[in-house]
Amino acid sequence: MANILSSQLSLVISALNFAAIVFLLGYGLSLLFNSLNFMNLAHASFFSIGAYLTAALGLLLVGSLSGLPGVVVTLVAVLLVVPVAITLLSFVLKETVLDRLNELDEPSQLLGTFAVLFILEDSVRYVWGTGTIRAEMLSNMLGSIPIGATSVSGTMVFSIVIGVVAVGALSVMFSRSKIGKIISALSENPEIVSVAGINARFVHFQIYAISTTLAAVGGLLWVMNFGITIGLTLQFVLLAFAVMVIGGVGSLRGAIIAALMIGFIRTYGVRYLGGFEMAIVFLIMAVVIIIKPTGIGGAQAQ
C-alpha cells in the first residue's frame, strides 16, 4: 500500500513539476498575444536560451560557496541573472525586428518570428553544439527530500514552488498593480493606452519583460529537470501554443488549468503509454479547438 502511495505521489509531483514549467512557458506567449496581438513563435527560443544560459551559469557558480547559504545564493543569482539577460535579448530583438513584424499582418508575423526562431536556433547551435546540456550541478545542489518511505527530487519541489510564486505574483499584479490593470485594459481596447495618457512604449517593454522573464525562468527549471538540446524547440513552440489554446488567450486561470492538464497527461502518458504522450497533448488541443475554441478560460478573461 505504501509503495503504491509513494509511487503515485512521485507521479503527482512529476506532473505538478511539468505543469509549473509549461505554465511559465505558455502564459508568456498568451499574454503577449492577448495584449499586443503579436504571435511570437520565437518566444520558445527565450525559454530554450534561458535553459542554456542557466546551465552555463551553473557551471560557473556551483562550488564557489558551500552549505545552505551557498545553495540559496547560487539559486538567487541564477534566478536573477538569467531572466534579466534574456529580457535584454528580447528588448534588442524587439527594437530591431519584432516591433516591425508586429505591424504586419498575421501570416507575416508568424513567418517573420518563425525566421527569427530559425536564426536563434542555429545561433544557439553555434555556441553550444548539438549535444545535450545538463545542469546537474544545480539540481544536485537541491538533492532529494525524503517523504515517508520514499524521497522526492528537490528540483521538482523547487519548480513547483517557483510556479506557485509566479502564479501568485501574476495574480497580485493583475488585481493590484497599475501595469496589471493596463494589460487587462489593453486586451479589450488597444487604443485606450495611448488615449489615457499612458506611455505606450514603456508598457510594451514591461509586457515583453514579464512575458520573457516567465519563459526564461521556465527554461531555467526545464534544464535543471531535463537538460536541454536543440531539437526540442518545436516541442516548446507547440507546448506554449497548447497552453494558450487550451487555456484561452490571455486567461491566467485558463493557463493554469491547461498547464495542469498537460502536466498530468504527459507524466501519466510517459509512464503508461510511453512515447505517445505528446500526441495525446495535441489531440486534446484539437478537441478543445473543436469544442470550445476560446479555451477553458475564455478569451481575454483574467
Could you say whether residue 112 binds another protein (CB under 8 A)? yes
Cβ atoms of residues 49 and 125 within 8 Å: no
Choice from 114, 128, 174, 205 touching another protein (CB under 8 A): 114
Could you say whether residue 258 binds another protein (CB under 8 A)? no
Could you say whether residue 201 binds another protein (CB under 8 A)? no
| x-marked contacts with another protein along 65-104 as a string, rule CB under 8 A | --------------------------------x--xx--x
Cell numbers describing residue 288 = 478543445
| x-marked contacts with another protein along 36-65 as a string, rule CB under 8 A | ---x--------------------------
Could you say whether residue 115 binds another protein (CB under 8 A)? yes
Smallest gap from residue 120 Cβ to another protein (A): 8
Choice from 78, 117, 193, 228 touching another protein (CB under 8 A): 117
Could you say whether residue 238 binds another protein (CB under 8 A)? yes
Smallest gap from residue 216 Cβ to another protein (A): 21
Of residues 146-175, those binding another protein (CB under 8 A): none
Smallest gap from residue 275 Cβ to another protein (A): 4
Residue among 128 and 174 whose Cβ is closer to another protein = 128
Could you say whether residue 215 binds another protein (CB under 8 A)? no
Interface residue list for another protein (CB under 8 A): 33, 39, 97, 100-101, 104, 106-108, 110-112, 114-119, 121-123, 125-126, 234, 237-238, 241-242, 245, 275-276, 278-279, 282-283, 285-286, 289-290, 293
